Amino acid sequence: MKLLITGTTGRLGGVLVRHYTSRYDLLTPGRDRLDLSKPESMTTALRDMDFDLLINCAGITSPDVCEREPELAARINAEAPAVMATECQRRGARMIQISTDYVFDGETEDLLDETLITNPVNHYGRTKRDGETTVLRECPEALVARVSWLFGGSNGPSFPDQILNEVRQGKSLQAIGDKWSAPTSVHDIASWLELLWQKMPSVSGPLNLCNSGVATWQTYGQQVVDFAVELGLLAERLEVKGNRLDDFPSFIARRPRHTVMSNARLAELLGHPVRSWKEALREWLQSLCAGA
């Protein structure tokens, strides 16, 4: 099977490459071959590539960058995926579009399932919502995988890496304590995606891919510290103090406060409950010990 994966310099895309490289023929075009900022050039480029499945991990993921450069964000996050979907539909290839919990407004504390109407509160969320819509319009059998608060991999420091680095540098620990979501392992996502396209190719439309459980950035950071002490990555336990989201005037884009997605549909497809983010986090931190 031939896979085309975009965004391989990012956290999720990089892990997908490492996870799949020994079992599939991979095509990982860089910007020189497939420039998502120029959707009008992509059809010709894609037709020169041979693939059975396209996984689009590429995108502008910074809400503030999307606010500063709205046209660029729209091209990369919405228009480019539409071109990919059109080509997948034309050749009969499958497509998986990676999306985000930021398509929701965060105004409810209920778990957010795939049937809810999206209502993004910033330009990043709107462009990702538009990407979902255009992909499913052009390629109705595509899978739209919504993910949240990714950790793992080695393409740049994730939030747990940042916490560990700050402790080692002697800095005090602070994180937002009134914003909620579900931290999720990129390694788990890689396994889920492979199972879905291999065993359940008819699954399409939006699907929440997240570990079970709820966290704020503060409780997430504290769990990183606690596990790191337990595993010997840190010498002593420090407290992560909580800040309010409103205390960050430097944020350009509004952030949704409560975007904890339900993974009930994923659990039904897997045939078992989805493991907690804490279990996945501990396993990943333990792998850092083994690699030390």
Reported as a single tens digit per residue, the pLDDT across 50-103 is 999 999 999 999 999 999 999 999 999 999 999 999 999 999 999 999 999 999
Residue 264: pLDDT over 80:
yes
Is 186 within 8 Å of 153 (Cβ atoms)? yes
User: For residue 89, what pLDDT is reported?
Assistant: 99
* Overall average pLDDT of the 114-137 stretch: 98
Q: Do β-strands 143-147 and 205-208 pair in parallel, antiparallel, or remain unpaired?
A: parallel
User: For residue 291, what pLDDT is reported?
Assistant: 61
Residue 177 in domain: no
* Overall average pLDDT of the 210-236 stretch: 96
Residue 148 in domain: yes
Q: What CATH number does the domain containing 196 carry?
A: 3.40.50.720
Task: Report, in angstroms and rounded to the nearest whole number, the Rg of the chain calculated over CA atoms.
Answer: 19
* Overall average pLDDT of the 158-162 stretch: 93
DSSP 78: I
Which tokens hold the place of 39? 């959707």
Q: Bridge-partner residues for 241, per DSSP?
A: 174
User: For residue 288, what pLDDT is reported?
Assistant: 87
Average pLDDT, the chain: 96
Buried b (16+ CB within 10 A) or exposed e, 10-37: bbbbbbbbebbeeebebbbbeeeebbbe
Q: Report the distance separating Cα 207 and Cα 103, nearest Å.
A: 13
Domain of residue 152 covers 2-156+184-213+259-276
Domain count across the chain: 1
pLDDT band at 249 (very low <50, low <70, confident <90, very high): confident
